[in-house]
Chains A and B, each alone.
Chain A
Amino acid sequence: MRTALPALLLIALAACTKSEVPADPAEQARAAVAEAEAHYQASWEAGHAWRATKALIDDARAALELGDYETAASSADRATAMAEASLAQAEAESTAWRDRFPFSS
């Protein structure tokens, strides 16, 4: 079973290597989408990806294509937050499941 730890390390590494926030709205939006995609990938590798995260990333990509950078960045930020929640779930569940079977959940 996958654990969230390697995924969290990947995100930490990405955060360390991230350059300064670009001033250009298009660049900001692209950076936000890239960050969301990295978080989503980490949640997938942890076995805890959420469908809503993917949907938000798809929305962000579509807005980026249309040049709607504000919407793209907004959707991407929401996707990142959601992926962080799913990674927190993965971390909590890495031990919580043991107390659950078969009596409660």
Chain B
Amino acid sequence: MIVNPDDLSCKELVELVTDFFEDRLSPSVRARFEMHLSYCAWCRVYLAQMRETVQLAGRLSEETLPKGSKEELLRAFRDWKRERGGEP
């Protein structure tokens, strides 16, 4: 296969991944991006890894934090309620 001079290189593609995910590529660049992916298995791996990185980061929100502050917050909430009285 001969690379067309208009084709993106892998080096260019890796800089555009977030814009691709965010749908911020112009239609022509997006087309070149997708064209490149259609023949480059390595960039497909790279793209998958960027996606996996995002998904893994999302799992960090599952980490549990020590509680114990809730009582204190509820007390603050009751104070707030009392202070503002019958205000709507």
B is a partner of A: no
| A residues adjacent to B (C-beta < 8 A) | none
